[in-house]
Amino acid sequence: MDIDTTIQQDELATFVGTVELAFRDRDFPKIHDLILSQTPAVWFGLKSERFFEIIETLVTEYPETNILIRTCHEMVAAPGPGSFDLPEIIAAMDIADPQQMFFLTLFRMFEGRLHGYPVDSLEQSEQLEKHLGKMRPFAYGQAGWGLHVPIQIGVSAMLAGDFTRALAAFTQAQLHPTMPKFSFLMRDALVKSGLIHAAFGEIGTAQSLLERSEQIPRTSSWVEAQIDVHRDFAKLLATDQPSDQALETLQSFDLHDIGEMWPFYILATHRLFDAGGLHAELEHQLSMFDSMPFPKQDGIGFTGSIIPLKRALVAMRGGRVSEAQEFMDRADPRLAYTQLIQAALHLLAGRPNQAKHEALRLHDETRGYRLLEVRRLAILAASHLQSGDMVSSINTLEQAAALPHGLRQGEVLLFSPETRELARNRVSKWPAESPSASLFLTGLPKPGLALTEREIEIIGQLAAGHTRAQISENLFISLNTVKTQLQSIYRKLAVSSRDEAVQGAQRRGLI
């Protein structure tokens, strides 16, 4: 293969030229040593097809190929969960060799992400850093591992849904000494940090990070184009473009170019289609995404949760509480985002006390992520109002209005119509609003129309076919109390019979 002399001759391109010359001359010992000692440069300098072509040739024609290169070849030739825990691979490894253990751990991290187990990938982080610390500092410091590893940990954390861990890892990468050969990794850390903030945090912080990324010198690495897509994608989330223009930009992205950041594409699709009122189209898009072979496992990390969560939000907008709960049951319950949406579903189902409890409990989880905190405050304000506590609702709305730089128009739309009306009348710092409809917490039961826990128990008894006398006996309450509670249930559900009451409770997801 001839060397492309049109490639910009930066340090990385010069190194790749050395690799290509060695391969052309069939100098297998040299190329073998270059791969082992400068793995990040080989990987990011060569396109993946060329990298694997060289690996294949070494395994086939160079008997002394190291176990690490052979293991990498096995991963590509026969990928599958648990490939790196096979007895024959473990037996061939020297557990006393930190380099071998480092690569084995790195392979396991990649494998977990490849098959939709990012939480397992993130669990490899501590061992990865431990083995890296034992490797020869000078040789592997110059090889770029000290910059590459925190970024890989950050990506695993993003996909697992641990955004605090991800931001910490990307910040660690930004503190690394400048390495011109790997400047694209520094840019990658800034862009991915910006993407997290554009999705969940402070828009101003996201824009600042993306601006800083533009100052990083470019290299000849193939990954530069992918970083550009992630940058443009983050910019889309961090701006207030008209929805038509934003949707056009979104649909111009190629999912192949987005790569592992595909969950954020799902998030952006929901945000932009919902803002544009394209609810039927959004539901179709999410259903299609749900059937696609993304690397995801239901209930595991951000990758296994983002589609069910967004489908739950669509179902909630349509008042389909039971369907929304089915989607929620597929999401990872450990994620703060899952817990926020579950709290919103409690509100829609007429369970303001549970919603309030969840919103209060999540205070520490949403700290530092502005958009998550705004959602939390929106849920808390609505739950207070549904419970009849107008004073606490106003206090919560005042807290939201006092956030740094005030509430953006897009953030105002995360509050329920009822709390927005209350805020306009009672909160002096509430921003002047556009007439746009709320995008979150719509269709909630009117204040005072949420069923109490006792009423939910009684409606459950009705659904089971019990008579009033049986309900009285089963719940240890008087028959008069049952009658009074049923009258309250009928009023709150706007029904006049037991069958209608049961149907109404089922629609709310109460039984």
**Full DSSP string of 280-292:** HHHHHHHHHHHHS
Q: DSSP string of 5-49? A: TTS--SHHHHHHHHHHHHHHTT-HHHHHHHHHHSHHHHHHHS-HH
Nearest to 340 by CA among 323, 315, 319, 365: 365
181, 197 in Cβ contact below 8 A?
Answer: no
Mapped onto helix, strand or coil, the DSSP state of residue 278 is: coil
pTM summary value: 0.85
Among 239, 86, 267, 19, smallest CA distance to 163 is for: 267
List all residues 6 or more positions away from 260 whose beta carbon is below 8 Å from its beta carbon.
113, 155, 159, 295
Which pLDDT belongs to residue 489? Answer: 86
Return the pLDDT at 238: 86
Contact 188, 227 (CB under 8 A): yes
Q: Residue 142 and residue 158: Cα distance in Å, rounded?
A: 27
Domain ranges of the chain: 335-450, 453-507
Question: In 25-117, where does DSSP find H-type helix?
Answer: 28-37, 39-45, 48-61, 67-77, 87-92, 98-114
Listed as ranges, residues in the chain with pLDDT below 70 are 1-9, 75-94, 136-141, 240-242, 447-448, 508-509
Domain range 453-507, CATH architecture: Orthogonal Bundle (1.10)
pLDDT of residue 85: 57
d(CA 415, CA 206): 23
CB atoms within 10 A of CB 369: 22
Tokens read off for 470 = 């049986």
DSSP result, 150-210: HHHHHHHHHHHT-HHHHHHHHHHHHTSPP-GGGHHHHHHHHHHHHHHHHHHS-HHHHHHHH
Q: Coil, strand, or helix at residue 308?
A: helix
- The answer to whether 443 touches 317, Cβ cutoff 8 Å, is yes
DSSP 439: S
Residues 145-179 pLDDT 10s = 889 999 999 999 999 999 999 999 999 999 988 88
What are residue 355's phi and psi, to 5 degrees? -60, -45
The pLDDT tens digits for 256-293 are 889 999 999 999 999 989 888 899 999 999 999 999 99
